[in-house]
Each structure stands twice: as C-alpha cells, then as structure tokens.
Amino acid sequence: MTILNLTDNTYDKLVSEQDAVLVEFWAEWCTLCKQMKPILEEIDLAYAGKVTVAMVDAATETKVTEQMGVMSLPALFIYKKGELVGKVTGFVPKETLTGAINQLIP
C-alpha cells in the first residue's frame, strides 16, 4: 500500500468512498509532521487493505485545509464510511493512533 496524496479536488471523494481513512494535514516546514511520517508509513503497512492512509499538504491545498478548520499541524482526521469519527492535533504516538483505528475496523 502507499500513502495517498490528496488535493482540494480529491479529498471528499476519497473519504466518502473508503470504509476507514486516516488523513494527515501536514506542511514541509512542520517538524512534528516529519516525526509523524514514519508512524503513518508503519500504520499504512500494518493496516493495508483495511485502512486508507492519506496526506494533505496544507500549504498548497488551502481550500480543503480551510474547509476542515485546520489551524495547527499536524492535524489528523479519522473517517469511517465517510463520517468523521475522530480528530487529533499535534504529534501522537503510534499506539494512540492504532488504538483509535482498532475501534473502527472489525
């Protein structure tokens, strides 16, 4: 599996079509975002076929960033069947994310 890069035009379609989605809003200058990347890569690998992991560059995809009310980075959004079920701002350990994801999938 590969982490998807979402744009203003692809965000809504992806989160509405997948059963479980984890989206990170990030920026190149964001140190905590860089620390989250290996965690997201591990989650993407561990949950391949069960959870779609995606990223949105908040610096370039301003429409969806504003639409989602992102005020600080990293910002993580968790969706189940198109519905927003969780939101975390700032760095979080892998265990926190996997705990939230495990509640979404059978």
Catalytically active residues, by annotation: 30, 33
| Residues 93 and 76 sit within 8 Å (Cβ to Cβ) | no
The one-letter amino acid at 74: P
- Please name the residues in contact with 52: beta carbons below 8 A apart, sequence gap of 6 or more: 4, 14, 18, 20, 21, 22
